[in-house]
Amino acid sequence: MKEQVIKALDEKFLCSDKFAQKIETLVKDHKISYIDAIVQFCDDNSVEVETIPKLISKPLKEKLKCEATKLNFLRKTSKAVLKF
């Protein structure tokens, strides 16, 4: 009984690592973008999109940033500095 309760709690509550794994699975299985995967996850699990930013891990954030830059949602930035 106790194991069932723990399993149910683990499935119900997300941490950033679990969330990133679920998004990566959606991207690979359905061959969709990370942005679309997050929106689909929110729709499937009745989660407000506004609550997602706190679940996004740093690696997932970098992938989203790269994707958004390619889609021209963000400006291309260069942090490289030439030193002479």
The rounded distance, in Å, linking the Cα atoms of 69 and 26 is 21
pLDDT over 90 at 75, yes or no: no
The rounded distance, in Å, linking the Cα atoms of 43 and 45 is 6
pTM score, whole prediction? 0.74
- By C-alpha distance, which of 49, 56, 16, 23 is closest to 37? 23
DSSP-derived letter for residue 83 is -
Dihedral sign for Cα 31, 58, 52, 77, please: negative
The pLDDT tens digits for 15-61 are 888 889 999 999 999 999 999 999 999 999 888 889 889 889 999 99
